């Protein structure tokens, strides 16, 4: 929390994408992913066009390609799974470089890789152009239950605090010469986890008391109501609508 | 494992989303009962705890390490409804912020990792507590078994969703074998860590463990050298005795059927060793395929197909039992909720804050 409440996932900027109201961006990202997922996998060119669309958004938002690509690394475990698919899927088989691969499996792997990557890229763009607080406001605007949004906002607000607490406990363990090497040391780590739970829960109780003493009665006051004009909506929805056109073309061609 | 976009087809994802939304709505109501007006800060902090503890690495051997999934732990420490909420919020935030798990697959992820793990582990936990002697030790034992069952249950749920709406036609038997085989191993780790963590919390603040409520040692006073029970400070919460006895029978039966049917059909079809062996065979085959010319693995496939057919027969039983147990427990919870709603007066807090 020392770094001014800005999260490392967020890239500060003043681009048109940054300026859009958060709920329009959330809706656009979600609609875009839905369109991508419902595109037939045989329309390979459509996914290329989607990638171009996302690249355009990234360029408008001035998010550098390196940043985006680095954040895409999160899907590596999944890529490994997709690579396995052609080997284990059933059906017709083809010979590629002396290996017998399933045609269906190859299509499946392509399907998951393409759609998964586009989905991750869309979320990364959303998170890097929208502040955390704004995201939560946007979720509230999109009629998520207020209690759920409150829980999410507490999780975000105290996530770093609790992670830091865990880090301090690790430093304390290590400064006493402890090094977790195997299953035998799980007891120590689990005790740390238990202590962390107690500290988190007690912090929650203190936070609640502090809130009550400031007049909390079950719901948070909304101070900065976000609204979006028609122009902003149409601007944000340009991405999923274009994607929808591509998708329809993919179904008909 | 977080499911990405495009892995499950759109209609199935939509249905899973509706299921997840319904369950979260029910949990929101239930969490108010478990935590009253403290829900928001406490559930938020517990969600932050789950989020943090998922980053705590437990070294297994030779450089590999695992981490906690947290569904069972959340259910036991703060109760099932709050547990579902906390894990769902963690998944939601991971999906939106960290791009971990697809946005359209959110419903699948929440159904699989938040709802199934929490509900199954809590049902098993409660059932075991009814059977075991009322001691703190049994809480630890019950949480071990609950976490052990919850992870393969999530794998079964995933296999089921994949079977309905998977986008690739990998044989369902193979998916089930791989998923359940791997997740039984993960479940063992999860079980050990969960039990140790619950034990650590119980040793310090037993009052914080939701699953151990009513297990507190009665305060003893030494009066004239004799131990006597201290008078209860506050009247114990009155539970409807009729409902309780029904509940006992219900949960015990449910858990017995789950444990027996699941494990017995495992053993009937193929021992866990067999499962592991199949997985190993498959891995070895893949390596061979990369080196040697193709064609010869087909022979291996023929043999493997037989084992897979047998396995998938047995696993169909497990999946069937899983469906029954989930459906049965859903009905059970619904009935129970209605009954408690009838008994308890309408609470004003939920009426004002809805």
Same domain, residue pair A202 and A178: yes
In a domain, B225, yes or no: no
Q: ipTM score here?
A: 0.86
In a domain, B226, yes or no: no
Q: What residues make up the domain containing A195?
A: 146-213
Residues A126 and A235 in one domain: yes
Q: Do A97 and A128 belong together in one domain?
A: yes
Residue B252: its pLDDT value, please? 56
Contact A154 B41 (CB under 8 A): yes
Tokens for B304? 């493997």
> How is residue B240 annotated by DSSP?
-
**The pLDDT value given to residue B254:** 54
> How far apart are the C-alpha atoms of B120 and B123, rounded to whole Å?
5
Q: Judge if A69 and A170 occupy the same domain.
A: no
Distance from CA of A228 to the nearest CA of B (A): 21
- Residue closest to A161 by CA, chosen among A5, A9, A39: A5
Identify whether residues A75 and A197 lie together within a single domain: no
What is residue B258's predicted lDDT score, i.e. its pLDDT? Answer: 53
pLDDT of B233 reads 58
User: Does one domain contain both A35 and A70?
Assistant: yes
B255 near B123, Cβ under 8 Å?
Answer: yes
A107 and A47 belong to one structural domain:
yes
Of A173, A15, A193, the closest CA to residue B199 belongs to A193
Contact by Cβ (8 Å): A22, A211: no
| Contact between chains at A9 and B52 (C-beta distance less than 8 A) | no
C-alpha span between B167 and B285 (Å, rounded) = 24
pLDDT at position B295 is 36
In a domain, B43, yes or no: yes
Same domain, A86 and A152: no
Is A219 domain-assigned? no
For residue B198, tell me if it sits in a domain.
yes
CATH code for position B95: 1.10.1760.20
Residue located via tokens 């006597």: B228
Report pLDDT for B318. Answer: 45
| Yes or no, beta carbons of A151 and B104 under 8 Å apart | no
Which residue, among B141, B56, B192, has the nearest Cα to A195 in the 3D structure?
A: B56
Is there a single domain that holds both residue A134 and residue A150? Answer: no
From chain B, the residues in CB contact with A195 under 8 A are 200, 204
Chain B neighbors of A189, CB-CB under 8 A: 56, 58, 193
What are the mean pLDDT values of chain B's consecutive 10-residue runs (354 residues total)?
Answer: 79 89 89 77 88 82 73 88 89 84 86 90 90 83 91 88 77 80 85 90 84 71 78 52 49 54 44 38 40 35 40 45 54 54 43 39
The nearest alpha carbon in chain B to A188 belongs to: B196
B117 by Cβ neighbours in 10 Å (0-12 / 13-18 / 19+) ranks as buried
Q: Which residues of chain A have pLDDT under 50?
A: 1-6
Q: What residues in A contact B193, CB-CB < 8 Å?
A: 186, 189-190, 193
C-alpha–C-alpha distance, residues B5 and B132, integer Å: 43
Residue with tokens 């049965």: B328
Q: Does residue B332 sit within a domain?
A: yes
Q: How many domains does chain B have?
A: 1
Task: Scan residues 178-217 of A and list those with Cβ closer than 8 Å to B.
Answer: 180-183, 185-187, 189-198, 200-201, 203-205, 207-208, 211, 217
Number of domains in chain A: 2
Domain of residue B94: give its range.
10-216+244-349
Rg of chain A taking only CA atoms, in angstroms: 23
For residues B341 and B318, what is the distance between their CA atoms, to the nearest angstrom?
34
Q: Residues of B281-308 as b/e, b for ≥16 C-beta within 10 angstroms?
A: ebeebeeebeeeebeebeeeeeebeebb
The H or E element containing residue B65 is: strand B64-66
Q: Please list every residue in chain B whose beta carbon sits closer than 8 Å to the beta carbon of residue A163.
A: 51-52, 55
Could you tell me if residue B222 is left (phi over 0), alpha (psi between -120 and 50 degrees) or otherwise beta? Answer: beta
Answer whether 0.95 is exceeded by the pTM: no
Asked, for residue B5, whether it belongs to a domain, the answer is no
DSSP alpha helices (H): ranges in chain A?
A: 16-19, 22-37, 44-60, 65-72, 76-88, 103-129, 132-141, 146-175, 186-213, 230-252
Compute φ and ψ for B238, nearest 5 degrees. -85, 125
Answer whether A6 touches B (CB < 8 Å).
no
Contact B160, B175 (CB under 8 A): no
Task: Tell me the C-alpha distance between B143 and B191, whole Å.
Answer: 7
pLDDT given at position A103: 75
Which chain A residues are Cβ-neighbours of B309 within 8 angstroms? none
Same domain, A170 and A59: no
CA B50, CA B70: separation in Å to the nearest integer?
6
> Does residue B158 form part of some domain?
yes
Q: Is the dihedral of CA A31, A37, A42, A47 positive or negative?
A: positive
What sign for the dihedral angle of Cα A44, A45, A50, A52? positive
Do residues A134 and A154 both lie within one domain? Answer: no
Whether residues A39 and A126 fall in one domain:
yes
- Residue A116 contacts B where some CB pair is shorter than 8 Å: yes
Contact (CB<8Å) B48/A154: yes
- Is residue B61 situated within a structural domain? yes
Q: Is residue A6 part of a domain?
A: no
């Amino acid at each position: 929390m020392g770094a001014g409440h800005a999260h490392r996932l967020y890239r500060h900027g003043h681009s048109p994408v940054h300026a859009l109201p958060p709920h329009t961006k959330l809706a656009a990202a979600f609609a875009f992913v839905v369109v991508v997922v419902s595109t037939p996998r045989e329309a390979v060119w459509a996914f290329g066009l989607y990638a171009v669309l996302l690249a355009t958004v990234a360029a408008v938002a001035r998010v550098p390609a390196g940043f985006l690509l680095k954040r895409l690394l999160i899907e590596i475990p999944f890529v490994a799974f997709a690579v396995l698919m052609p080997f284990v899927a059933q059906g017709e088989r083809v010979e590629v470089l002396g290996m017998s691969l399933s045609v269906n499996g190859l299509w499946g792997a392509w399907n998951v890789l393409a759609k998964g990557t586009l989905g991750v890229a869309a979320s990364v763009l959303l998170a890097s152009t929208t502040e955390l607080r704004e995201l939560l406001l946007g979720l509230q605007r999109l009629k998520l239950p207020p209690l759920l949004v409150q829980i999410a906002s507490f999780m975000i607000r105290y996530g770093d605090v609790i992670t830091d607490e865990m880090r301090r406990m690790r430093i304390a363990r290590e400064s006493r010469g402890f090094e977790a090497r195997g299953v035998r040391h799980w007891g120590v780590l689990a005790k740390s986890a238990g202590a962390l739970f107690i500290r988190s829960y007690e912090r929650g109780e203190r936070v609640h008391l502090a809130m009550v003493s400031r007049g909390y009665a079950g719901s948070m006051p909304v101070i900065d109501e976000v609204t979006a004009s028609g122009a902003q909506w149409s601007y944000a929805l340009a991405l999923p609508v274009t994607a929808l056109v591509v998708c329809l073309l993919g179904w008909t061609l | 494992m977080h499911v990405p976009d495009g892995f499950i087809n759109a209609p199935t994802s939509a249905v899973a989303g509706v299921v997840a939304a319904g369950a979260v709505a029910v949990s929101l109501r239930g969490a108010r009962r478990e935590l009253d007006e403290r829900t928001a800060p406490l559930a938020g902090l517990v969600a932050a705890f789950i989020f943090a503890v998922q980053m705590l690495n437990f070294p297994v051997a030779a450089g590999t390490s695992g981490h906690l999934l947290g569904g069972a732990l959340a259910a036991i420490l703060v109760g099932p409804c709050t547990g579902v909420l906390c894990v769902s919020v963690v998944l939601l935030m991971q999906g939106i912020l960290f791009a971990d798990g697809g946005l359209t697959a959110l419903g699948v992820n929440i159904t699989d990792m938040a709802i199934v793990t929490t509900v199954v582990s809590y049902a098993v936990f409660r059932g075991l507590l009814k059977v075991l002697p009322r001691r703190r030790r049994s809480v630890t034992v019950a949480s071990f078994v609950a976490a052990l069952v919850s992870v393969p249950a999530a794998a079964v749920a995933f296999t089921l969703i994949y079977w309905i709406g998977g986008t690739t036609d990998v044989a369902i038997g193979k998916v089930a074998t791989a998923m359940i085989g791997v997740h039984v191993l993960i479940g063992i780790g999860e079980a050990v860590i969960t039990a140790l963590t619950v034990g650590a919390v119980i040793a310090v603040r037993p009052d914080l463990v939701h699953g151990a409520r009513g297990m507190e040692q009665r305060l003893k006073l030494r009066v004239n050298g004799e131990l006597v029970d201290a008078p209860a400070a506050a009247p114990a919460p009155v539970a409807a005795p009729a409902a309780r006895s029904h509940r006992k029978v219900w949960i015990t039966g449910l858990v017995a059927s789950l444990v027996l049917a699941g494990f017995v059909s495992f053993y009937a079809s193929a021992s866990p060793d067999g499962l592991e062996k199949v997985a190993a065979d498959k891995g070895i085959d893949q390596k061979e395929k990369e080196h040697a010319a193709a064609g010869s693995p087909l022979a291996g496939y023929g043999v493997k197909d037989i084992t897979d057919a047998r396995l998938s027969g047995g696993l169909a039983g497990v999946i069937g039992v899983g469906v029954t147990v989930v459906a049965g427990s859903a009905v059970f919870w619904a009935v129970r909720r209605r009954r408690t709603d009838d008994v308890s007066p309408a609470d004003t807090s939920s009426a004002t804050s809805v």
